Structure 1
């Protein structure tokens, strides 16, 4: 029973069966009471008609007297003269005393010989007619009639229960198909579940689950692509490190060995930077734990500029900061600081001489982190493509990088509820902007 109630079909059937049982009992009870009342009225009608028919007769014929004297007849008929003389009496077996000669006209109850009787009396100027019936007999006959009327309800109840069980099964058949489809797939199956024929209450649940499966499929595809791209990108620097290590082993002490060591150190630095960028991208991807902390975009812009300032000074690049007012926000300070640092770092590396960093309020209360430069910029048709992983600009032969900077920026901004867009800066180069809606 517990296993049955653990299923949706079992719960629905139990609830409907309980409701049906209560309804059937109520209907049966009401029917029983109603039929008993109608039977009592019918018996009263028979008593009255019998008394009235005998009252209107001048005398009782012998054959009629014989039928009234039948011991199997439940009725008792007694006729009295107005002087109290008994003119006729049919007394069944077990009746020890006659009806009283002083009758109450109409219906009444009498207690005779230890029994309760229902009596109807009618009078004429010459005589009084009384017809009586034991209440026990009336009640028994009424109960039998009432029970017979309840039998169809009792017979129909299990049939209705079987029909309800079948109908619930038919109604849940689409859900069973969804279950079978979910069980039929393998461990890596993320195909959408069928939604045809589902009830309106269940369809949103399955559609939401399909949405979850779609997001999981997209996340797994992105993860597989990320691993494949990362393996491909790591293969080259690791191979270069092995070659440089071999050259170092074969280099003679002196200038040649120093050059090999410098190359090996540069290769290690590039590999370490690539690994750091991969870790930063993994932290910025959807699904990674996010920190929602109070922060100030203006202060965050100052910190990011301070991080890149040594590289800018070495490259002879001027960085100007505009952050006049505090811009409070809730988000991940580390992720946003890294994203802005990547934007400024890209501007410095890719040939800009002047970089303008701004933290300000835009139209309709939007909050902005903006980086403008006077570098070569990015052609409009390539601006969306540079957000892909390991995608770099066209002329990158003189610039070291992993092609992950803008991918990290977009992922970090998306997790903070912001949007990244590229455009043309007033300085003539590239404008990169992180925008939060107002």
Structure 2
């Protein structure tokens, strides 16, 4: 069963064209055959008028096309000759069908003024062959027209369905969070009910997503206050003299609250990221400044874990985005790298411009990612097959959403050189030009001094 609308239309219209062409061709063939037969009768009449004056001799007529095989039969004034001639003599004047020498003929009989009779005849087989040939020629234009009409039909169907294809391409090219209404202009009126239904569905989805975002933001905001209060109370228990068992439970409680607070901060960052309408104008952000601010905040954590955190290359690069969201993106990348880098390892970061894109790169000396995790690592709450630390599994998911909303891309690859291993994260974000050159306050490019092995 054909499920394609284009296929249904093409097959239906093609069937109509072929059926109409077949009926028209049959009628044209019959009409042309009869016309050709009448034309040959007219030739016999004209030749008989000439033969009445004794111009031709008995037998095949001279001066007439050889393949027509028209001949003259002199019948005399009384029946004579063969049986066929005597039967022919007994026919009335005019066009008659007869048989001569066991061959069907079409004959025109005439009687001269002196009473003698003659017949101008032609074999019916020759006449039919000539008529069929002439009738067949009338079918050639129809036979050539049918394929042309089929091609034109296919082109018209394709052109008529172009608005539907453009509509599908528009929907397919949209970002996942772009729920603006589909335009009704420049679309056929037959598509308007479908587009109106799609717009209604998009509006309902937008309201549902807005409710979900507000719920996540409100829930994270409401939960942050009691979690903070519990964290303060837990910290206040630090100086209290507690038994060893109670102190280990207190440490587990602090770790759990820290993980919960971190999860709430990630949820709030995600809510802030998705709350901004798609396509809205974003402010300019110095990516190198955001990187340095984030590194300064993360440096104590790196020192506490004996990890060498530093910049390989930092160039003045400007992008468009929310400063808080950009710093949260960098913090998530660094937090992920620090969590999986063993003590004594290193994390190298860099910012530079490549073509029309700003590039942020983070490399660590951790174990890298399992091949089975590469396709799922950006899923929310997925922490990989070998999770470490108290992460929530939202960091890389937030990074990917942030990068996509900024019109960029992110790539993860395992470093497979002999001297080192680890994970390399490369983020490409469209570069935003700043009037007058580099953004105010941009320092010159920095390169980290070479490290020893």
- How does the TM-score come out when normalised to structure 2? 0.45
- How does the TM-score come out when normalised to structure 1? 0.47
Largest Rg, 1 or 2 = 1
